[in-house]
Amino acid sequence: MQEVRGVIARAKGAPVEVATILVPAPGPGEAVVRIQACGVCHTDLHYRQGGINDDFPFLLGHEAAGIVEEVGDGVTDVAPGDYVVLNWRAVCGNCRACRRGRPWYCFATHNATQPMTLTDGTTLSPALGIGAFIEKTLVHAGQCTKVDPAARPAAAGLLGCGVMAGIGAAVNTGGVGRGDSVAVIGCGGVGDGAIAGARLAGAAKIIAVDTDPRKLDWARGFGATHTVNAKESDPVEAIRALTDGFGADVVIEAVGRPETYKQAFYARDLAGTVVLVGVPTPDMTLELPLLDVFGRGGALKSSWYGDCLPSRDFPLLIDLYRQGRLDLDAFVTEEIALDGVEDAFARMHSGDVLRSVVLL
Ligand SMILES: NC(=O)c1ccc[n+]([C@@H]2O[C@H](COP(=O)([O-])OP(=O)(O)OC[C@H]3O[C@@H](n4cnc5c(N)ncnc54)[C@H](O)[C@@H]3O)[C@@H](O)[C@H]2O)c1
Ligand SMILES: [Zn+2]
Ligand SMILES: [Zn+2]
C-alpha cells in the first residue's frame, strides 16, 4: 500500500480537489504505474458533473503516460521500467466480440480488481477504469501499452483517450479513405484528432465546424481545408455549399449534443456516414423523421474510443508522431500541476485550451 496525491470529484458539480489516496500493491494481473503526464479530457468534466453516472467519489484523469513501477503475479507483457500509455480497452480475448475477431468491441475489458481508496477507506471510482490525475495508479496490466520512450509523456499520453478517439472515429469507425470529403463538428481535442486522422487517411476535403474562432484556427493546423463558424452560418448549409450541394461523405460529431447530431445527420451526402464520438448526457433525446433516416441511407455509427485496439494503434501512432506525420505536440496547449485541474476545466469551458496536460 502506498499513499499518494490524486484529484478527486467528491460530489456532483462540486469543484475537484487534491486528496490523499491509498494505492494497493499490485495483485495478480495488475500493475502500479508512476504517472508522468495526464491530459484533461472533457469526459473528466462529464464525470464531475454527474453526467456519466453517480458513483462518486471519482478519481479523475484517464489519458496518461508513465512508467511501470511494479507488477503483480502472472504479468508477463509489461515489466517495471517500461514506458507505457494507459488505455481503457484491455481486451479480454474471450467475449463474443473478441472470439469473432473484433476485439476493439470487447464487451468484457479488464480493469484492476482491487480498489484505490481515500484514507478513511472510501472506495474511489477511477474515471474510465484508470484514474490518472495521481502520482501512481493501479490498473490492469493489459491497460499498459508499451510505446517508444522517445515520445514525451505530455504528447504520448493524449493517445490514451481523446486524440485516439478522434483519429479512430475518422479512420476506424468512419472508414475515411483517400479522396473523401469529411466534416467534423466540434474541434476540441477529439474533433481535432478526427481532423488529423482524416488527413492521415487521405481525405480530400476536411471541413471543421466550431463556435469558437480559436478552435477553427487550431483545426486548420491539424489539416482542415475549410472552416465554418457555427455562430455565423448554418453548419448544414455551409457544409453542403462546400461539397457541391451534396453534403460530406463522412460527418463526425465531436460535441455530444442532439442539435449538433442533427446537423451531422443532415450535413452528410446520401449514403454517407455519421459518426457520433461526442458523449451525450442521460437527459438528452433525439427526434428525427424516420423517413429521413430511411431515405438518406448510409450509416449512423457511434464510436467508443475510436474503435481502437491499443496494442495495434498506440505504437503505430507514436511512430507517426516520431516521423513528424502526426503532430501530437500541437494538442498540448499548456502544462499544469495536479492542483490545476479545476482551473483547466474552466479554461476548457471558455475555449482557451485544446488540452491542458497535468505533469507529475
Ligand atoms: N467516444 C469516445 O470514446 C470519447 C472519448 C473522449 C471524449 N469524448 C467526448 O467527445 C466530446 C469532445 O471532447 P473534447 O475533449 O474534445 O471536448 P472539448 O470541450 O475540448 O471540445 C468540444 C468542442 O465543441 C465545440 N462546440 C460546442 N458547442 C458547439 C456547437 N454547437 N457547434 C460546434 N461546435 C461546438 C467547442 O467550442 C469545443 O471546441 C466530449 O463529449 C467528450 O466527452 C468521447
Ligand atoms: Zn473481449
Ligand atoms: Zn477522455
Closest ligand 1 atom to the C-alpha of 355? 20
Distance CA 252, CA 183 (A): 6
The reply to whether ligand 1 has any atom less than 6 angstroms from the CB of 303 is yes
Mean pLDDT of 65-82: 98
Closest ligand 1 atom to the C-alpha of 164? 5
Mean pLDDT of 10-38: 97
φ, ψ for residue 171 (rounded to 5)? -80, -50
Q: Which of 5, 144, 165 lies closest to 64, judged by CA?
A: 144
The best mutation among 44, 210, 257, 356 to test binding of ligand 1, ranked by most ligand atoms within 8 Å of the C-beta, falls on: 210
Question: How does DSSP classify residue 341?
Answer: H
Mean pLDDT of 17-35: 98
Q: What is the pLDDT of residue 159?
A: 97
The best mutation among 106, 259, 279 to test binding of ligand 1, ranked by most ligand atoms within 8 Å of the C-beta, falls on: 279
Q: Answer whether 133's CB lies under 8 Å from 341's CB.
A: yes
Start-to-end CA distance of the chain, whole Å, equals 20
Question: How does DSSP classify residue 171?
Answer: I
Q: Read off the pTM.
A: 0.96
φ, ψ for residue 281 (rounded to 5)? -100, 165
Q: How far is CA 18 from the centre of its chain?
A: 23
Distance CA 56, CA 219 (A): 35
Q: In which band, very low, low, confident or very high, does the pLDDT at 251 lie, cut at 50, 70 and 90? A: very high
Q: Answer whether 293's CB lies under 8 Å from 300's CB.
A: yes
Closest ligand 1 atom to the C-alpha of 215? 39
SS3 255: coil
Share of the chain above pLDDT 70, in %: 100
Q: In which band, very low, low, confident or very high, does the pLDDT at 136 lie, cut at 50, 70 and 90? A: very high
Q: What is the pLDDT of residue 239?
A: 98
Mean pLDDT of 38-42: 95
Q: What is the pLDDT of residue 121?
A: 97
pLDDT tens digit sequence for 185-195? 999 999 999 99
Mean pLDDT of 23-31: 98
Q: Which helix (H) or strand (E) holds 60?
A: none
SS3 147: coil
Cis? peptide before 57, omega within 30° of 0: yes
φ, ψ for residue 47 (rounded to 5)? -60, -50
Buried b (16+ CB within 10 A) or exposed e, 18-28: bbebbbbebee
42 Cα–ligand 3 center, Å? 6
Strand 181-185 and strand 248-253: the pairing is parallel
109 Cα–ligand 2 center, Å? 6
The reply to whether ligand 1 has any atom less than 6 angstroms from the CB of 43 is yes
Mean pLDDT of 125-146: 98
Cell of 195: 481532423
Q: What is the pLDDT of residue 240?
A: 98
The reply to whether ligand 1 has any atom less than 6 angstroms from the CB of 279 is yes
Q: Which of 37, 222, 2 lies closest to 147, judged by CA?
A: 37
Length of the chain: 360
57 Cα–ligand 1 center, Å? 24
Mean model confidence pLDDT for the chain: 97
Q: In which band, very low, low, confident or very high, does the pLDDT at 218 lie, cut at 50, 70 and 90? A: very high
Who contacts 290 (Cβ-Cβ below 8 Å, separation ≥6)?
none
Q: What is the pLDDT of residue 221?
A: 98
Closest ligand 1 atom to the C-alpha of 42? 15
pLDDT tens digit sequence for 277-327? 999 998 999 999 999 999 999 999 999 999 999 999 999 999 999 999 999
Q: What is the pLDDT of residue 242?
A: 98
Closest Cα to atom 24 of ligand 1: 186
